Structure formats: structure tokens, C-alpha cells
């Protein structure tokens, strides 16, 4: 293979995971929608006990930098507009409440599916179509104050530490 083709192939392999995340997530603030920016979780692994060169009970913590999300909701029943990416459905998405620490927001459990979450489905949300492939939705019950993320539960983890792409927001 020609060296230029190898570089192009490597570049495409780096870009393809970014292109797979083609959806848009917006939050209604005031009378207009504002795009929620995607953030990647960060992972810290604390080593556990070491017995005869065998590592036991290592603990992973997934967190987002900053004590609060940049985007605040207007009230405790925020309205979202989401356009799922190719091969995604609205039911793949869920809201997870984060715990706040001094300088970061932490997922209660490092594995997405082991957290308590509120899946975007009709029994928890009022959902209506918005255009060709977009949906508008808001929770049927008020959310508690705090930091939340909107996340695709079916996504493939990113990188060596298996981080996730999430959409953070703050409920006042």
C-alpha cells in the first residue's frame, strides 16, 4: 500500500468514531433550543491490594470535570430535542443523576447500566415528534436538583479506559 494511503486510512479510522456520533441534543431554555455539548467522561483507577504480584480489588471512578454543568435548565421539568444518530433509537437514551464532589461530578457506578437511570420512554416522558427524525420530550415528574447526564446506553465505550460520551446539564 502506498504510504499516503496508509496515512489516509489511519486518519479515517480516527474520524469514523466521531462521525458515528451524528445526533444532536438540544435543551429548551427560554423560548429557544440551545445545543448541549458532548463531553467525554474521565476515568481514574485506584489500585487495590497487591498480593504476590497479583492486583486485587482495583476501583474505577468515572467523572466529569467541574462542580456544575455549563448548561442550566429553566425548571425541574426540562424539555429536550434529540435527533438520534444512524442505528440509534430514542429508547437507547436515558438520564442519570450524578453525585457532586469538590471539583467534579461522579457517576454513582462506573458501569452505565449498573446506575439507576430514567430511560426515555413514554411511561417516564412526554414524547412527540419534531421534524423528520427528531423528538421533543420532557419528564412527566419533576427532576430533583443536581447534575444530570443524558447518555446513550447502547454506545460503545471510547478509548483504553472505556469512557463514555455524555450530555451534561444542571437542574437548579
DSSP-derived letter for residue 142 is P
C-alpha cell at 10: 489511519
CB 45 within 8 A of CB 70: no
* pLDDT score at 23: 81
Exposure on the CB side of residue 94, measured as CA atoms within 13 A = 15
For residue 3, the tally of other CB atoms under 10 A from its CB is 7
Tens digit of each residue's pLDDT (9 = 90 or more) over 34-84: 999 999 999 988 876 776 777 677 788 899 998 888 899 999 999 999 999
Q: What is the mean pLDDT of the chain?
A: 85
> Which residue in the block uniquely carries the three cell numbers 466521531?
18
Q: What is the mean pLDDT of residues 144-163?
A: 92
pTM for this prediction: 0.81
**Strands of 73-145, DSSP E:** 80-83, 93-97, 99-100, 104-106, 117-119, 125-129, 135-139
* pLDDT score at 11: 43
* pLDDT score at 15: 46
By percentage, how much of the chain surpasses pLDDT 90?
59
Least confident window among 9-13, 49-53, 110-114, 157-161: 9-13
Q: Measuring CA to CA, which residue among 133, 126, 137, 119 is closest to residue 33?
A: 137
Q: Is the pLDDT of residue 7 over 60?
A: no
**Which H or E run includes 44?**
strand 42-46
Euclidean distance between CA atoms 169 and 73, whole angstroms? 7
Amino acid at each position: 500500500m502506498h504510504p499516503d494511503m496508509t496515512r489516509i486510512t489511519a486518519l479515517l479510522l480516527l474520524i469514523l468514531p466521531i462521525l458515528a456520533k451524528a445526533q444532536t441534543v438540544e435543551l429548551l431554555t427560554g423560548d429557544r433550543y440551545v445545543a448541549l455539548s458532548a463531553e467525554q467522561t474521565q476515568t481514574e483507577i485506584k489500585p487495590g491490594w497487591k498480593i504476590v504480584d497479583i492486583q486485587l480489588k482495583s476501583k474505577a471512578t468515572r467523572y466529569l470535570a467541574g462542580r456544575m454543568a455549563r448548561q442550566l435548565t429553566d425548571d425541574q421539568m426540562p424539555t429536550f430535542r434529540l435527533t438520534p444518530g444512524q442505528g440509534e433509537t430514542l429508547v437507547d437514551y436515558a438520564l442519570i443523576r450524578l453525585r457532586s464532589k469538590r471539583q467534579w461530578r461522579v457517576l454513582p457506578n462506573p458501569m452505565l447500566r449498573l446506575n439507576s437511570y430514567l430511560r426515555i420512554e413514554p411511561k417516564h416522558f412526554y414524547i412527540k415528534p419534531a421534524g423528520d427524525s427528531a423528538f421533543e420530550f420532557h419528564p412527566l415528574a419533576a427532576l430533583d436538583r443536581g447534575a444530570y447526564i443524558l447518555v446513550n446506553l447502547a454506545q460503545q465505550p471510547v478509548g483504553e479506559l472505556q469512557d463514555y460520551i455524555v450530555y451534561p446539564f444542571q437542574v437548579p
